[in-house]
Amino acid sequence: MASSGLRDFLNRVTDFTPLLLVAIGVYYGLDYYELMVSDASPVKAKDQQIASLQSDIARMQGKVKEMEQFHASLESRKLQLREHATRLDEMKGSLSDTFDSSEFMRLVVTEAKKVGLSVLRLEPQAVESKEYYAQHAFSLSFRGVYQQLLVFLDRISNVQKIVRVDELTLKPIGNGSARFVQLEGTMEIRAYRYLSSSADSLARNETQVPALPKGASGSEGGGP
């Protein structure tokens, strides 16, 4: 009797085996769906977090690259400012920031008279402004012998201001067989004046030593 009942139970269980396997498959399928596929899936949430972190990392790397480029550009600009400051110091050491045209014209006439060169005409021309300086040009017509002209040019080149002579023309007049041949000619004399600009303040700010914070002392020992 017991053996027969056990056999019947096993037969019934065998009959339900396919259904049991289907139920187990459905259970694990739903569990996999909830774990991997559904919107509430923790794996899917982790994947989204990883993607968000990767996006943040890429964005931060871009910011770091921008900062490195900005720093390199800033250092380059500082180097340019230092070079400008050096050029400005050199120019200010050789050029005055003031120029009196009348005084300079009197100087030219005086130097010509000292060597016996006759000034026929001396006229100021248009002032030409450059980046750091202004150029004052003067048209000079003269008469004299060649030796007088050489001495005049030498004296003009040794005045305190920077002077440049351009566009020199000469023609002989009078007796060409004389010991000293008279010449008439023209030249353009250029003098220069330094121009102050915003570059001066930039250069000063770049090279200025920062002030100590209030209350700080330049010495290590705090004296009274």
**Residue 86: pLDDT above 80?**
no
In the chain, % of residues over pLDDT 70: 60
Residue 60 maps to a domain: no
* Within-domain flag for 152: yes
Quote the CA–CA distance of 206 and 143 in Å, as a whole number.
Answer: 52
What is the mean pLDDT of the segment spanning 85-102? 67
Average pLDDT, the chain: 75
User: Is the pLDDT score of 7 beyond 90?
Assistant: no
User: What's the pLDDT at 114?
Assistant: 95
Short-list 165, 169, 162, CA closest to 132: 162
Q: Do 30 and 119 fall into the same domain?
A: no
Q: Identify the band that residue 41 occupies on the pLDDT scale cut at 50, 70 and 90.
A: low
Say if residue 181 is in the same domain as residue 106: yes
Instruction: Flag whether pLDDT at 22 surpasses 80.
Output: no
pLDDT attached to residue 23: 65
137, pLDDT greater than 80? yes
Is residue 191 within 8 Å of 163, Cβ to Cβ? yes
Would 61 be classed as within a structural domain? no
List, in order, residues 6 or more apart from 39 with CB less than 8 Å away: none
Q: Does the structure show a pLDDT above 60 at 75?
A: yes
CATH number at residue 160: 3.30.70.60
Q: Closest by alpha carbon to 109, among 136, 140, 147?
A: 140
| Average confidence (pLDDT) over 212-216 | 46
25 or 92, which is more confident?
Answer: 25
User: Domain range holding 16?
Assistant: 8-36
Residues 6+ apart with CB under 8 A from 140: 108, 119, 121, 122, 186, 187, 188, 189
**One-letter-per-residue 3-state SS of the chain:** CHHHHHHHHHHHHHHCHHHHHHHHHHHHHHHHHHHHHCCCCHHHHHHHHHHHHHHHHHHHHHHHHHHHHHHHHHHHHHHHHHHHHHHHHHHHHHCCCCCCHHHHHHHHHHHHHHHCCEEEEEEEEEEEECCCEEEEEEEEEEEEEHHHHHHHHHHHHCCCCCEEEEEEEEEEECCCCCCCCEEEEEEEEEEEEECCCHHHHHHHHHHCCCCCCCCCCCCCCCCC
Task: Examine the domain organization and report whether 28 and 112 are in the same domain.
Answer: no
My answer on whether 30 and 112 are in the same domain is no
Instruction: Answer with the residue of higher pLDDT: 116 or 86.
Output: 116
Whether 72 is in a domain gets the answer no
215 in a structural domain = no
pLDDT value of position 111: 95
> Is 163 part of any domain?
yes
179 belongs to a structural domain: yes
| pLDDT at position 6 over 70 | no
Q: Are 119 and 194 members of one domain?
A: yes
pLDDT for 218: 44
Q: What is the layout of strands, in order, in the sheet containing 133-145? A: 118-129, 133-145, 182-194, 163-173
- As a whole number of angstroms, the distance between CA 11 and CA 110 comes to 139
- Number of structural domains found in the chain: 2
105 and 30 belong to one structural domain: no
User: Does residue 119 lie within any of the structural domains?
Assistant: yes
What is the arithmetic mean of pLDDT over 125-149?
Answer: 91
Which of 16-20, 63-67, 164-168 shows the highest mean pLDDT? 164-168
